[in-house]
């Protein structure tokens, strides 16, 4: 729930003890318990109301199927626009690779250095183009 592990809850509890102090901690712990109880009662009330309004069909609903986190809008649009079978395995799109500009300043300098036989020296800094950034 909310990514809280036991260690994180323990750390929050220790911080609460130091911040609130032992005098006020029981009061705030009771308030937290009332809040959690209220949220749980609210959720159960909503579930009971849904059960009343839907009738016996409530137990037959596959709630995992209605989970909005499972939907991928790109897949839904792709399936709606294509004439292919929606249950078939989708093809992987071909990824276009960027072409290399053979006339870039970097490659021109590199070819010039190679032609002159001047590799980059051990203590020499790499070329830097201040206008490029």
* Residue 61 confidence class, pLDDT cut points 50, 70, 90: confident
Contacts of 16 (CB under 8 A, 6+ apart): 25, 28
* Residue 43 confidence class, pLDDT cut points 50, 70, 90: very high
DSSP 64: T
Quote the mean pLDDT of the chain.
Answer: 79
Domain boundaries, the chain: 1-56
Q: Encoding tokens for residue 77?
A: 């649009």
pTM exceeds 0.85: no
**Exposed, middle or buried, 31 (CB in 10 Å: 0-12/13-18/19+)?**
exposed
pLDDT reported for residue 89: 64
Q: Provide mean pLDDT across the span 18-39.
A: 89
Closest to 17 measured CA to CA, from 30, 7, 26, 8: 26
pLDDT reported for residue 48: 87
Residue 4 phi/psi, 5° resolution? Answer: -90, 120
Residue-wise pLDDT tens digits, 65-94: 777 777 888 888 887 887 666 566 666 666
Residue-wise pLDDT tens digits, 106-124: 888 778 877 776 666 667 7
58 pLDDT above the threshold of 70: yes
């Amino acid at each position: 729930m909310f990514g809280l592990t036991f260690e994180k809850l323990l750390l929050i509890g220790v911080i609460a003890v130091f911040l609130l102090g032992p005098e006020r901690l029981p009061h705030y712990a009771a308030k937290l318990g009332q809040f959690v109880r209220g949220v749980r009662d609210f959720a159960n009330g909503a579930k009971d109301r849904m059960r009343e309004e839907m009738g016996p069909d409530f137990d037959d609903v596959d709630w995992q199927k209605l989970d909005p986190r499972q939907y991928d809008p790109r897949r839904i649009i792709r399936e709606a626009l294509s004439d292919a079978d929606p249950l078939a395995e989708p093809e992987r799109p071909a990824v276009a690779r960027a072409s290399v500009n053979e006339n870039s300043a970097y490659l021109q300098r590199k070819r010039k250095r190679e032609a002159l036989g001047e590799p980059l020296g051990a203590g020499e800094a790499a070329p830097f183009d201040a206008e490029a950034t």
